[in-house]
Structure 1
Amino acid sequence: MVESYFMACLKEADVLKHRGQIAGSMQKKDHNQLWLGLQNDKFDQFWAVNRKLMEVTNDQEYFKYIPFRCYFEDGYRQKLIKPVTDNGCKKKLKDLVNEMFPEQTNIQIKTHGLIPPLDTPLQWLSEHLSYPDNFLHLCVVA
């Protein structure tokens, strides 16, 4: 059950980032390698396959959308957020906060127990601080 949920999250993140092209082209052995590497704490085994999911493809400069979830005490929210503006400027964490919570001004975001600077680019956060399911998991502290 946990494996199925993990793979579903991974595929959802790939649809958001790469339109499903990476996970869709993976073979069953790649799925097994990802799961077994994660389950057995074998980073090299896991990363050999996951690297493809975490990088932009040749025809992309950025991910299509940033896979993320913002957690509260009573659940979570997610939304389609692009890593760049319509005019090509890199979006920052503060842009995500403003899009998710336009009515609130005093919000802190934590991930991995850290409070990342609000001027951190979303693309960088997604590439470097995503969890094994390829999502950014962000805790909202209001």
Structure 2
Amino acid sequence: MKPSPLPLVKLLSTGPEDTVHSKELTELEVETLKENMSTAHKRIEHLTELSSENEATVMRLEEQAKILKEEIRRLERNQQREKEAANMEYLKNILLKFLSLKVGDERQQLVPLLTTMLKLSPEEKTTLDAAA
């Protein structure tokens, strides 16, 4: 059974010798307090260990996330290269077609396409028009 706390008025009106400390603790109470302290220390140690494990897990997961993000960026760059390679094949075919045709309307129809794909300046477009 726990002793009830003193009311504030009584606590303020009594001296230090009249407070809770004036009562002697029994051996049973001392033993109970020691057990409670031991249990509390074990819980603290356990929670500290769990906290350390959680911190290690968080660090490992952050490192994995960093690696995965780098891998995603690498894959995106590879996809862009593949896309550009497909465009390069298309450009090659159009350029071969342009060179194989005789000067005239068909060659002139390929000029806007080559201008767009090669991102030609107006002066370069004029030169290509003259060649078509």
**TM-score, reference length from structure 2:** 0.22
Higher helix share: 2
Q: Normalised by the size of structure 1, how large is the TM-score?
A: 0.21
**Structure of higher RCO (CA pairs closer than 8 Å, 6+ residues apart):** 1
